[in-house]
Each structure stands twice: as C-alpha cells, then as structure tokens.
Amino acid sequence: MHHQTFVSLFKKVLSTPTAPFHEYQVAGLIRELVEAMPHVTLSEDDYGNLIACYRRGRKRPKLAFAAHMDHPGWVKFQGKPKFLGGVPEERLDLEKVEWFGNFGMWKLKPFDLKNGIIHSRVCDDLAGCASILAMFMELEAAGAETTVYGLFTRAEEVGFIGSIEMAKRWPLGKGVCFVSLETSAARGGAEQGRGPVIRVGDRISVFDDAVTAELVDAATEVKVPYQRALLDGGACEATAMNLYGVAAAGISLILGNYHNCPPKEGIKEEFISLADAKSLVKLITATAIRMSDPKAFPASKAKLRQRLEKRARAHQKYERRARRDWG
C-alpha cells in the first residue's frame, strides 16, 4: 500500500469520535469504507458488533482479526456527564471536553504525524480498526484467494461487553480463531519502534499457542520485524474469548500515553509508531494468506513436531547402547 494511502486511512479512522456505547460514528465509517471493497461483506450481530468477511475463492476461514471501536470517554446519562473507562479519577478534569452529541472526548488533536510517530486522541483501539481495514485493502489489491474475518466490537473499555456478547453466541464456528489487535503499554521488554508484539498472553490468560506460532512463522516468512512478550499491564478481548471457549491470540502495537495518560501527570494524545502499524498490517495480511493454504504452508506446530521426531530418530542409537547399562 502506498504510504500516503496508508496514512490517509489511519487519519480518517483515528480522527473519528467515539466512546463506550457510542461507537456509531466509527461503525458508520467502517460501513462506508467496506462498501468500496468488492470481496468484503459486512453484517451486524444482535449487540451491534460488526462482522466483516473478505472472501475470494473457496478457502475455509481460520482467523478473525478483531479490534474494538470505543475509547475511554464521557457520556451523558440521566442528564449528567459520566466518564466511562480506565483513567485515574484525579486526571478526569485536567483537560477540556469536546462534546459530540451525547458523548464527549478530551479536546486533543484528532491526528498528527511527526517524525514517524502517530499522535492521536484515540489510538486505542482505532489503530486496530484501521489495521483490519488496511488488511482488507491489501488482500483486494493482491487478488488473494483466502477467507478471513474482521471483527469490530463495542464497549471493550468497560469490561469487554461487546466481545463477551459475541463469544456467548460465537457465530464463526470452532475452526476460526479470534486474534485481538490492540495497542498496549510497554511491558516485558517490548519497545515502541521494534515491530508489533505477538503476545504470549495478558494479565489474566495465556493465548493459543498454535495460532501464535503461525503468526511468528508469517512474520519470519515475509521478514516483518516483530517482538514476543507477555504484555501483562492489562487484559484484552482475547481473554474474554478464552473464558467462553473460543481459541484466541493477540498482537499489540506498543502505545505511548496509554488512555491519554502520560507517565507522570496530565492528559495528552496517545501515540504509536507508524512503522509498527505498517508492519502489523503486513503481518496479518501474510498470516491470512498463509493459513488459507495448509499444503503450501505446513502448520508451525506440525513442523516443530517433525523436527523433534527427526532428532529423536537420529539419537536412537545412543538410546540402544545406553540400555545395556540400565540392566
């Protein structure tokens, strides 16, 4: 994807106002953008989560990349403003609020790109939403024969409500793994600018090892810089899925000023690395293509098993000799 096209997409998505339960402007933009994608269909579940599917050819789907459409913000409830989301109470009144009807956000820059860093009032998790849309665009441009889902969920910031409602009635079948795309504070040695983080897990759960291995293999195959780490600063929607029996994994972009909170004080724009975002899109696009054709790309765990069995066979002669000494 051309650099300017990528930046334009991220600017459009990240500049869209949102708050828990008030994700309709983001949902409307996603619908508008998907209309221009001939191989992507879009539906909505009973809770208002969006289910997009890229399908070209007859490949069975194996992955659903997911991002949430909300961000901590203010809502009007019973005539009074109420803040929803994980931000320390002492910071709530440190910045003016800009209202968009019945919800509000801190009056911060919607989007600014400086020296390879994207600054925005909302990176978490509209950067994940933009990444899924960019993946669809890349698949369309490549004419890729694969099937892959993009899920856009509601009300993550107040307890994974949208993803839990989806998990209770998982509509995609047991063969489809949920992959959370998030922005996360640096933990476990991960650093911004060194590539997206293929997560071992979060604060609550460990993620699916088979899909995690596939993500690593895809990154290696297409030479995408990546990191592996346990990002245990919080929990993500993959944990919600795990709790309801849906196989789940996760990838994160390292986020600065998590939930608009600088390390010491104040309220500021969040920020992510543009290079990390581009690498994330390249990674999920490559994984969607790889996993659609198991003959061309043997499963990572199967390849590991073959290597270990080969090594075991090569050492059988030592086992046979040592048996004599066991008596």
Considering the entire predicted model, what is its pTM? 0.94
Mean pLDDT score, 235-248: 94
What pLDDT sits at residue 295?
67
Environment class of residue 298 by beta-carbon count within 10 Å: exposed (0-12), middle (13-18) or buried (19+)?
A: exposed
Q: Which residue intervals of the chain bear CATH 3.40.630.10?
A: 3-296
The pLDDT tens digits of the residues spanning 66-125 come to: 999 999 999 999 999 999 999 999 999 999 999 999 999 999 999 999 999 999 999 999
What pLDDT sits at residue 18?
98
What average pLDDT does the chain have?
A: 95
Residue partners of 292: CB distance under 8 A and separation at least 6: 59, 60, 62, 144, 145, 146, 147, 148
Q: Give how far the C-alpha of residue 248 lies from the chain's centroid of Cα atoms, to the nearest Å.
A: 11
Using 50, 70 and 90 to split pLDDT, how confident is the model at 174?
confident
% of the chain at pLDDT higher than 70? 98
What pLDDT sits at residue 298?
61
Q: What is the dotted CATH code of the domain comprising 3-296?
A: 3.40.630.10
Q: Which of 139, 127, 156, 325 is nearest to 238 (CA)?
A: 156
What pLDDT sits at residue 210?
87
- Strand 248-254 versus strand 177-184 pairing type: parallel
DSSP string, 209-273: HHHHHHHHHHHHHTT---EEEE-TTS--HHHHHHHTT--EEEEEEE-BSGGG--SSSS---EEEE
Mean pLDDT score, 254-278: 97
pLDDT value at 296 more than 60: no
Helix H or strand E segment including 69 = none
The pLDDT tens digits of the residues spanning 27-78 come to: 999 999 999 999 999 999 999 999 999 999 999 999 999 999 999 999 999 9
Using 50, 70 and 90 to split pLDDT, how confident is the model at 301?
confident
What pLDDT sits at residue 286?
95
% of the chain at pLDDT higher than 90? 88
What pLDDT sits at residue 303?
78
What pLDDT sits at residue 305?
84
What pLDDT sits at residue 297?
58
What pLDDT sits at residue 106?
98
What pLDDT sits at residue 289?
94
pLDDT value at 175 more than 70: yes
Using 50, 70 and 90 to split pLDDT, how confident is the model at 327?
confident
